Amino acid sequence: MADPTQIEVPGRIYWRYQDARSNKDYITSLERVGDLWIANYAFGAHGATLKPGTKMSKGPGTYAQARKVYDAMVKERLAKGYKPQDGEGSAYVADPGGQRHSGIQCQLLNPIGEDEAQALIGDDGWFSQEKHDGKRMLIRKAGQEVCGINRRGLLVGFPKAVEQAALAIPHDFVIDGEAIGERLHAFDVLEAFGADQRALGAYERLSVLRRLLEGCGEGAISFSTPAVTTGEKQALHDRLLAARREGLVFKRKRRQPTQAEILRDGVVRRRGGQRPAQHRRHGLAACRRRRGMDPGGQLHHPVQPQSPGRGCRRRNPLPPRLSRRWPPGAGLSRRQDGHRRGRMHR
């Protein structure tokens, strides 16, 4: 292996491709991992949070191996028409790969229309926050380890600037937000100060999040300010509409009872009276999944008209089909079925 002190390491290269139909960024880098080396990249739309990864699927290797992969990436960028830009671009924490689940599942939004949004603006039981046009991302800090989590709950790469801002916070936490470029707009907190905050209402969790981020200044993690009163919510709605922004999110201030708590109480309120919860346990869960109901009551109102293809995906309430034929021999001719049965009973 070559002497690390004698190795000339190429710097991080920031590439950009722009034409009439696309505007994309790409970053190539050769990085040291202990005594080994690895060739990493990050790509995505210009100005957005890029998606990092590595070209070395088997992990770090020798400098010669990593340099060969790195040089191939550079040639590929040039062949595709990318042009190197001034500066080195943003640094990213590499994607761990392998579709590793974090154990945390995001709470997704339910879209609503203008009439429902106006009703919630006048309802004191709800507050609103801006819906940024970014990438959904949770950040979890445990000791000196920081990881990014996407909307599917998988571990993903994220900007190093966000990692540095997270390490500057003296407490462990799990925060939820949207990443745009090198900044994370935090709008919720799940864990902080050594306690699980999910049992609190959305507005109470905002107070915890504000206290957690105190002293961070204008770093890479910023607090998403809520609009609470009717006047504030209407002003936020009008401002986002005039600026043609992504939308706004309405959240119920107080926490609603969870399905487990409803089942624990033993009674589910329904039209026509009450019925013991244990008799409707599966039906209630299916109803909540299909209708998108959630304890937090989060609703998304897009301030711009949406195309017909966007919106909630209807989930099939029917059970999955059986993977094997039933009854035996279904779909087979009598002769084929006889041969099959003969082989089975030999």
Give the range among 72-81, 109-118, 138-147, 267-276 with minimum mean pLDDT. 267-276
What CATH number should be reported for the domain holding residue 263? 3.30.470.30
What local confidence, expressed as pLDDT, does residue 318 receive? 44
Banded pLDDT at 18 (limits 50, 70, 90): confident
Whether 316 is in a domain gets the answer: no
Residues 106 and 152 in one domain: yes
- How far apart are the C-alpha atoms of 261 and 273, rounded to whole Å? 19
Read off the pLDDT of each residue in 131-142 and give the average, rounded to a whole number: 91
What CATH number should be reported for the domain holding residue 83? 2.20.140.10
How many structural domains compose the chain?
2
Read off the pLDDT of each residue in 233-249 and give the average, rounded to a whole number: 91
What local confidence, expressed as pLDDT, does residue 344 receive? 43
Predicted confidence (pLDDT) at residue 182 exceeds the cutoff of 50:
yes
Mean pLDDT of the chain: 76
Cα Rg of the chain (Å, integer): 26
Residues 80 and 101 in one domain: no
Residues 86 and 112 in one domain: no
Listed in sequence order, the residues at least 6 apart from 48 whose beta carbon sits closer than 8 Å to its beta carbon are 134, 135, 180, 181
Residues 179 and 284 in one domain: yes
Banded pLDDT at 296 (limits 50, 70, 90): low
Residues 25 and 154 in one domain: no
Q: Would you state the structure tokens that stand for residue 195, as one six-digit string?
A: 């306690």
Where is the domain boundary, 55, 73, 93?
93
What local confidence, expressed as pLDDT, does residue 308 receive? 46
Q: Beta-carbon neighbour count of residue 45 at 10 Å?
A: 12
Whether 331 is in a domain gets the answer: no
CA-nearest of 142, 46, 57 to 102 is: 142
Whether 20 is in a domain gets the answer: yes
For residues 241 and 282, the answer to whether their CB atoms sit within 8 Å is no
Residues 213 and 301 in one domain: yes
Q: Which helix (H) or strand (E) holds 52?
A: strand 51-54
How far is the first Cα of the chain from the last one, in angstroms, to the nearest whole number? 62
pTM score: 0.61
Residues 279 and 138 in one domain: yes
Whether 315 is in a domain gets the answer: no
Read off the pLDDT of each residue in 243-260 and give the average, rounded to a whole number: 83
CA-nearest of 189, 185, 156, 158 to 171 is: 189
Which of 22-36, 73-87, 96-110, 231-245 holds the top average pLDDT?
231-245
Q: Beta-carbon neighbour count of residue 311 at 10 Å?
A: 11
- Work out the percent of the chain whose per-residue pLDDT is above 70: 67
Residue numbers of the domain that contains 35: 4-93
What local confidence, expressed as pLDDT, does residue 251 receive? 93
Whether 320 is in a domain gets the answer: no
Do strands 36-45 and 135-142 pair parallel, antiparallel, or not at all (unpaired)? Answer: unpaired
Where is the domain boundary, 67, 93, 119?
93
Read off the pLDDT of each residue in 225-239 and give the average, rounded to a whole number: 94
- The predicted-structure confidence for 66-120, as pLDDT tens digits, reads as follows 888 888 888 888 888 888 887 766 676 766 666 788 888 888 888 888 899 999 9
Where is the domain boundary, 93, 113, 130?
93
What local confidence, expressed as pLDDT, does residue 40 receive? 85
| C-alpha distances out from residue 18 to 83, 124, 313, Å | 9, 47, 33
Residues 109 and 23 in one domain: no
Listed in sequence order, the residues at least 6 apart from 153 whose beta carbon sits closer than 8 Å to its beta carbon are 101, 102, 103, 104, 105, 106
Whether 344 is in a domain gets the answer: no
Q: Which helix (H) or strand (E) holds 71?
A: helix 63-79
Cis peptide before 327 (omega within 30 of 0): yes
What local confidence, expressed as pLDDT, does residue 15 receive? 84
- How far apart are the C-alpha atoms of 46 and 43, rounded to whole Å? 9
Banded pLDDT at 44 (limits 50, 70, 90): confident
- Work out the percent of the chain whose per-residue pLDDT is above 90: 27
Whether 345 is in a domain gets the answer: no
Residues 160 and 290 in one domain: yes
Residues 35 and 114 in one domain: no
Banded pLDDT at 123 (limits 50, 70, 90): very high
Residues 52 and 106 in one domain: no
The DSSP output letter for 31 is E
- How far apart are the C-alpha atoms of 13 and 29, rounded to whole Å? 7
Residues 149 and 291 in one domain: yes
Whether 79 is in a domain gets the answer: yes
CA-nearest of 203, 308, 217 to 256 is: 203
